[in-house]
Structure 1
């Protein structure tokens, strides 16, 4: 009789556990996380990408957190870098990214049961390769002039300030740009450094006296 009683308790416990798991699955499935950004509507700069998303849930389910998670590795989770949004339909601006880099994104939604993720999509920040920039160079607060600078995909560069056309090389490490203007036939080689931010580059000339800001004329990626 005691054995029969214990078996009955065990069966009831199994049924209860199974029912609880099914209920959790139902609750989890009632949350839908959608990534709305596509290649066609992507808004990306050299250091930012905008990701739009939608979180849909049953009115009886409380979503405690939602937004976008991302990483340079596939299958990002909320353990990686995230944004936190308030509205169910949102656009997150992902900042402080590295130029010419692939990032993986998913929209997430959290409730008491767990985390729901959207499908994964990957997008690239812009590359300097084969782009032409308008450099505005400041000697002081009054004097400035412009130059056109081309960054070729093979690492060479062309500097044209309407007075001289000179050639050199360029290198981008992270978002720090260094390019050399070979003026050996004139005076010497300049080493110029700047930092990419969104759609601009800010930097200083080798002598530290001249500052410059550059904006893209043509970006071909």
Structure 2
């Protein structure tokens, strides 16, 4: 592990050839020249790198395309790796069908004020993902559009303004069937958030600008962190089990590792953490002292001489104490839960009296104000997610209620789903109901049926 090895790195590359990852046929001219490397500090050990770029599938979510970085000499900043990547100049294409760029030079952006907006964006990346938790809401398309917006503001690329660009003017990977396939509102919200806060906020991530051939084609790269947080399992009202995998320990030994957790996004070693020993081997972490019916964020961490690095963030919700859990011991009839309201309600159901092979159904009514129903079987394994159910008229402010963005309510308050899981040897399942608005009221029932 090297200093900032598991940070976010920015890659800016200039290319002689017009490539295809950024998908725009506009050719750059003299008027499109921007001063990208003025005031940046060169990284001597990374002044002759090789890059291999591959656009890959448009369905991936973590980057606009992939890039392999090689021929890097040992240093404190950049290593040979495969990373997610982003374009900076929206009106230029990018050659990306396993195309190789050689002689790439790296420049540090940490001490350059001009690059603070992009460094700040990736400093809060996990926070943004937590703010827009529904799968597919904050995709690589919204992130790419935000990067283009900030690059224009910084003066390192042409202006990109989603309010001024029609669907027909957008790069092709941001359209589908002639229409924008991303949320313009989310792009504006995140861009405004960054521009409002970057100058007065702590920036924990700094990147690097990489220069290749003569014609300035720009790319933004996020290398992997080097550590992965395992899924959270065996969740009880007060405990849970997770752990981590160290993919790249760097050049100095790991002196401490474990996981950190908090009720806020992006937990650090200033929060509650486990100490799971030393070395780069995979590790298991036992979390204890949790509160019941509470949502937590957890990240793996590792420490060496270069500093502390963190893995991806995971979330989990603890159950209720046993005395208030539900019990289902007869099949064929609907068993009602208690009704609920604002916040997160977690019901753990005991089905030890139900035979293996029984099928389970859920029916619910969120009434007017939207609520969401999630079923886990076994606990920790999601088998059903109703999406937000209620009246579409309750589509909310995206800052206060990002859960409803951008698709809002997906169905009426009343619904039913049969066959959500088949019982095996596990004797408990969990229902998590989320009501993000004060005053909401909801109900749900559970039923099981035995085949034959």
TM-score per shorter chain, which class? 0.3 to 0.5
Q: TM-score, normalised by structure 1?
A: 0.47
Q: TM-score, normalised by structure 2?
A: 0.25
Larger strand proportion of the pair: 1
Larger-gyration structure (1/2): 1
